[in-house]
Amino acid sequence: MTVYDSVVRSLSVVTPEGVRPASVGVRDGRIEAVGDHGANMPAREVTDLGDVALLPGAVDVGTGVHVPGRGLDEAYRSAGTSALRGGVTCLVASPAPARPALTHADALGAHRRAAALSPVPVLFLGGVTGGTGPLDLADLQVAGAVAFHCSLSDGGAPDMAALGDAQLRKVMAELAALDSVLLVHAEDARELGTPPVSAEHRPPRAERRGMERVIAAARSVGTRTHVGPFTAAECAALLAAAGSVGVALSAHTCPHYLCLPSETLAAESPAHACRPPLRSDANRRALWNALLSEGSAITTIGSGHLPAHGLYTLEWSLSALWTAARRRGRGLTDLARWTALAPAGLMGLGGRGRIAAGYDADLVAFDSDARVTVPAADRSPYAGRELTGRVERVWVAGRVADGGAGDDALPGG
């Protein structure tokens, strides 16, 4: 009889087929079996979560890691610790803002060495600029870039200047040849003015114009493209129509766009730095409608963590998203799909994002009924708010992670 390294039982295990009572057997860092809740599964360690749900660890796409005034090593350690506390077991780091920017293979190597200090695995997006050539893209892919990122306005740093239409089509053609995915910050620079308007006054038409450019380029080239953050609900019809003309276009949004209407923000809230900005409550409700529509092209939801702009969101994003989703009658299967299954699929991470045999044992014990109050002094946009849902424990490759010592420790870790 198989003896597992560990078995985790819960009355609410979130599998790709739905939520059910189950036991998850782990050996050598991977899920070896998902059996009935009462199955005889001998193990060196058994954890019974009772009513606390077991989720696949979230895969956070486009995480900003750079922190002004901190070294690269410390930035990755800090981001990884926050990720664990928020139920994220894999970071896909944004290429900018970062020092050095992830626009060439040597820079990616420096980031990989620093990311070794993170308590969760870190993968990387390669940065695309006007001067990026096919050899640069190939070198980045060989060095470990799982996908690529560009911007039609400000890419977060001078190293990531806006792409023009000809450059966008050229890069798309080169990435199609590499069978890779292009993530696009789709706000159009011309609609933002010169100098650009402030972060909180960026108009929805900048997203609309940018999406029109992306769709036109992708239609002629055929590259798989993911736009984000997607915030302007008035562009939902444009996004949905892309598929009908053969464009492989999907979108990404963040919990703060789904949870925090601009009318409620305090003057000192870090959410004023969001780019695109948080929009009206009417837009927020329409964005939910677009997300929940049948066959929605908004497939992934990530933290939007960007400490270089004062946005510290990793720790609370899962709870914030669950708070809003639950009010709309959505379940844990939706939560896992948006934050784990779909992001892992987008990035081509075949071993992550689901609780199933053969997948990495990246697991999150999530108390979906717990009420938590974000400390008033917290640096996140959720400071002072009451949320529903708390990360109780996290396993990375089958091992319980505690996020470090002292104040960084996970509840119950």
Spatial separation of the C-alpha atoms in residues 137 and 141, rounded to whole Å: 6
Predicted local confidence at residue 256, as pLDDT: 98
> Shortest CA distance to 120 belongs to which of 156, 150, 77, 151?
77
The three-class DSSP label of residue 150 is: strand
Predicted local confidence at residue 154, as pLDDT: 81
Pair 150, 128: CB distance under 8 Å? yes
Spatial separation of the C-alpha atoms in residues 265 and 212, rounded to whole Å: 30
Predicted local confidence at residue 405, as pLDDT: 36
Pair 55, 88: CB distance under 8 Å? no
Spatial separation of the C-alpha atoms in residues 353 and 345, rounded to whole Å: 8
Q: What is the dihedral of CA 308, 310, 316, 320, to 10 degrees?
A: -120
Predicted local confidence at residue 10, as pLDDT: 98
The three-class DSSP label of residue 158 is: helix
DSSP-H helix ranges across 328-403: 332-336, 342-346
Residue 50's Cβ-count burial label (10 Å; 0-12, 13-18, 19+) is exposed
Pair 102, 95: CB distance under 8 Å? yes
Pair 90, 50: CB distance under 8 Å? no
Residue 101, phi then psi, degrees to nearest 5: -65, 145
Going from the first residue of the chain to its last (413 residues), give the mean pLDDT of each consecutive group of 10, the final group possibly shorter: 95 97 98 97 98 98 93 96 98 92 95 97 95 94 97 77 95 96 96 90 96 96 95 95 92 98 93 95 98 97 96 98 98 98 97 98 98 96 97 98 53 39
Question: Which one-letter DSSP state was computed for residue 290?
Answer: H
CB atoms within 10 A of CB 196: 16
Spatial separation of the C-alpha atoms in residues 265 and 81, rounded to whole Å: 27
Give every CB contact of residue 245 below 8 A, 6+ residues apart in sequence: 215, 219
Predicted local confidence at residue 340, as pLDDT: 98
What tokens does 153 get? 């306005």
CA separation, residue 81 to residues 100, 291, 340 (Å): 22, 29, 18
Q: What are 326-331's contacts with CB under 8 Å, separation 24+?
A: 326/368, 326/388, 326/389, 328/288, 328/292, 330/292, 331/19
The three-class DSSP label of residue 389 is: strand
pTM of the complete model: 0.96
Residue 242, phi then psi, degrees to nearest 5: -60, -40
Instruction: Write the single-letter amino acid at 33.
Output: A
CB atoms within 10 A of CB 62: 26
Predicted local confidence at residue 157, as pLDDT: 64
Give every CB contact of residue 117 below 8 A, 6+ residues apart in sequence: 73, 74, 76, 77, 80
Q: If you search the block for the tokens 């444009």, which residue do you land on? A: 238
